[in-house]
Amino acid sequence: MQEEHDEIWRLLVEVQSLSGKTGALAEKLAKDLKTHIDKEESLALPLLGILPDLVNGRLGNPTAKRAAMLHAMFEKEYPGMIHGHDVIRKSLAHLRKIGAEEGHLTAVRFADALEKHSQEEEEVLYPAALLAGELASMKPRR
């Protein structure tokens, strides 16, 4: 997830430098996206990181305790994060349209890639993070 976010940022910087309305739309999108990605990286990413330990039965108590706390926070933020994806998708549709009109195929490819990434998050990564947190929360404390 972290590598994908880094690649998204790299592409977004490239799109922001494009001329016309495309670059301006990318600037606005960057502000919305920054907050959203920061939440993902502070809540979902650490929960995904414990999956190998959960699968191998090696989740330590300190990690389980922290994961349980993150799980509670992520559950609370989850509806807003899904809503954030909806808002971002609307911005991406606009960016895709304007980018195509202005001949900026990089913007169109970026919009397609980010939309695919957010769909993967909703269908796979967010549920996996929530499940990891739930399993960590059920670990007996010593």
Q: Which helix (H) or strand (E) holds 68?
A: helix 61-101
108/47 Cα distance (integer angstroms): 32
Q: Is the pTM of this model over 0.85?
A: yes
Tokens of 134: 């739930």
pLDDT of residue 111: 97
pLDDT tens sequence across 28-53: 999 889 999 999 999 999 999 999 99
pLDDT tens sequence across 56-84: 999 999 999 999 999 999 999 999 999 99
20, pLDDT greater than 90: yes
pLDDT tens sequence across 91-140: 999 999 999 999 999 999 999 999 999 999 999 999 999 999 999 999 76
DSSP H stretches of helix in the chain: 2-16, 20-39, 45-49, 51-55, 61-101, 105-120, 126-138
Report the half-sphere exposure of 79 (CA within 13 A, side-chain side).
1
